[in-house]
Chains A and B, each alone.
Chain A
Amino acid sequence: MIQLENVSKSFFIVKKAPGLGGSVKSLFVRNKETVEAVKKIDFTIADGEIVGLLGPNGAGKSTTIKMMTGILRCDHGRININGRDPFRERMKYTKDIGVVFGQRTQLWWELPVIESFDIIRKIYDVEMAEYNERLKLFDEMLGINQIIHKPVRNLSLGQRMLCDIAGAFLHNPRIAFLDEPTIGLDLNIKSKIRELILAMNKKFKTTIILTTHDISDIKALCERIIVIDKGSIIYDGNLSEISDLVGQNQEVGIYLENIENNQLLISAVQSEFAPDEVLDIDVREDYLNIRISNKITVSQLMGHILRNENIKDFTISEPDVEYVIRKVYAGELGNED
């Protein structure tokens, strides 16, 4: 169980005027500036959940993860994970968690991967039999056996990431914190990593907290997402309901006999419905994509436009998560309180 109550974190940075002159000046006058990276956030995550932490660049996701992993102390508030304060009881707490920071490696750069795995086995007291079994599993799922005898510094980004992920799960942690585990990876490696994360969650009930900028990661892995923006939580709930955030309800695709002749239909829709009813209309290759809000229903829309003889076919689909999240990041919240 992970509980964050009212957690805040600020950083002080020394502000410098630009250029060499500014650098010289900063030797004498130090302009300190406070960055509120995380502001009073609260959430609870139960054992066995997979939760995606989302938010634009600089939102405070990594800072939140650093505090939850016990390497950064929060200024205010309380963090309680499995009954422990991660920062104050860091040494005991680390045994329960596995961590991947996608931008860096937890492995020993100069040495073959297997040496890092070996020391992880030792310091986390993993039984030899269990260790071998896990290595076998990781090889089956990730195909890492050909690479673990190479020094980490000679691996490609994707190979290194596979090894880092394997390293994080090697000691069967109760919780895994994965900060951008798929950054810069090709589709094949991404899907291997997703499969492993899901398998760990299913098989061992490992709680997974991950951040990513890749919506397909989210779709593949998370039921629940927490969206952070400018240090505050703006959404915490089911992925399937996030479209409520921008008030979008459904997407309707209208296939036309003649796509060039779309103007009539578009103006008909726009004259009938208000901008908060029909959110936008996109002209795609051979169809129009209409996003409607929860203020109207699909049948209302269709009732109005089916009279148009140009229509060949239509589809109705769930809101597109990527579209919604882009809107959220852009600050276009539909029902902000």
Chain B
Amino acid sequence: MGNAVKFIRLNMMIKLSRKESFIFSLFGNIIFFFLTYQLWHGIYAGDSGISSVLNFEAVILKLFLAMGLASFLNTNIEWFISRDILSGNIQKYLLIPEKFYNVKFFETIGTSICNLFSNTIPLFIFIFIKFKIELNLSFPLFLFSILISLIIIYNIDLIIGLTSFHTEAIWGISTIKTAIIAFLAGAVIPLEFLPLGFQNFLKYTPFEYIYQVPIKLLTSEANINEKMMMLLMQIICGLILTALAKIIFAHSVKKITINGG
């Protein structure tokens, strides 16, 4: 536990040493929110029957929440893992008496906390005030669910980072991952606009559990039992991905060649 705090703190200090990047990313997010709003505003102005699926307010709420979560959860650690694998600097992580899996997770938390204060909290305060979201019993569930989302994304990123043992194409893979998650997890257009069959299919994939479960916990009319069920499914998804990532790591570390020297 003490190690966790140390590594989280260390990573926060590293992130804070590049404070300009926060200002830019908050700025970028604000522009992105604004453009999204304008875009959908335009679409709804020329309404071609889409408001029968979801009304404008609901679209904006869903997208803003998903984008706000993305600003918190996107740490892109696969990028750093891959860089370290290709340069051989991964040795640093293998030479300390703490599991690689844990250290990278602590680093992810550190980055997320920085994102939280620089990006997510300002954005969420804006969303909560604008949409008059009540802080009822769902709110703690929402927070808890975000933690599980963090674990899910971490494992996906880790698995992708480890593919650098086999391919040097991390840039492409990482970009594709970000695009796919943004789209299939519902941060580009609300999933309600996708074909029904595809929507149902997505419910059986990890994408459902990244942004959708926390958003539904916060905003849907479902009763508490249904909400607990969603949370349970999300936890299961997190556990499966954790196991998978650990297996892949144990396999990869045998193949690792530690470049350089």
Is B132 engaged at the interface, CB distance under 8 Å to the other chain? no
Structural contact, A90 and B260, CB atoms closer than 8 A: no
Query: Which residues of the other chain, A, contact B88 by a CB distance below 8 angstroms?
Result: 104
Q: Report whether B261 and A122 are in contact in the complex, using a CB–CB cutoff of 8 Å.
A: no
Q: With A and B bound together, what is the CA distance between A259 and B219 in angstroms?
A: 98
Q: Are B261 and A62 in contact (CB under 8 A)?
A: yes
Is A111 in contact with B99, judged by CB distance below 8 angstroms?
no
Which B residues are CB-close (under 8 A) to A70? Answer: 94-95
Decide: A106 and B97 in contact? CB cutoff 8 A: no
Smallest CB separation, A325 vs chain B (Å): 20
Contact of B14 among A11, A69, A90, A108 (CB under 8 A): A108
A70 to B92 alpha-carbon distance, docked (Å): 12
Contacts of A72 in B (CB 8 A): 256-258
Q: How far, in angstroms, from A104 to B91 measured CA to CA in the complex?
A: 10
B254 to chain A, nearest CB (A): 5
Number of B positions contacting A (CB below 8 A):
25
B7 within 8 A of A: yes
In angstroms, Cα B88 to Cα A211, docked, is 18
A124 at interface, CB cutoff 8 A: yes
Known: A92-B97, A94-B96, A111-B17. A66 touches B6 (CB 8 A): no
Shortest CB–CB separation between residue B3 and chain A, in angstroms?
A: 6
Question: In the complex, what's the smallest C-beta–C-beta distance from A213 to chain B, in angstroms?
Answer: 13
Beyond A110-B14, A151-B17, whether A94 also contacts B97 by CB under 8 A is: yes
Query: Please, what's the 1-or-0 string for A73-117, where 1 marks a CB less than 8 Å from any CB in chain B?
Result: 100000000000000001110110101010111101011000100
On whether the beta carbons of B94 and A111 are closer than 8 Å, the reply is no
| Contact status of A73 and B254, CB under 8 A, knowing A101-B261, A103-B261, A122-B2 | yes
Residue of A nearest to B2 (CB): A122
Q: B97 near A119 (CB under 8 angstroms)?
A: no
Interface residues of B (CB under 8 A from A): 2-3, 6-7, 10, 13-14, 17-18, 88-89, 91-92, 94-99, 254, 256-258, 260-261
User: Can you sample 23 A-B contacts with CB below 8 Å?
Assistant: A63-B261, A65-B261, A66-B258, A66-B261, A71-B91, A71-B94, A71-B256, A72-B257, A91-B99, A92-B97, A94-B95, A94-B97, A97-B95, A103-B261, A104-B91, A104-B260, A108-B14, A118-B6, A119-B6, A122-B2, A122-B6, A123-B97, A151-B17
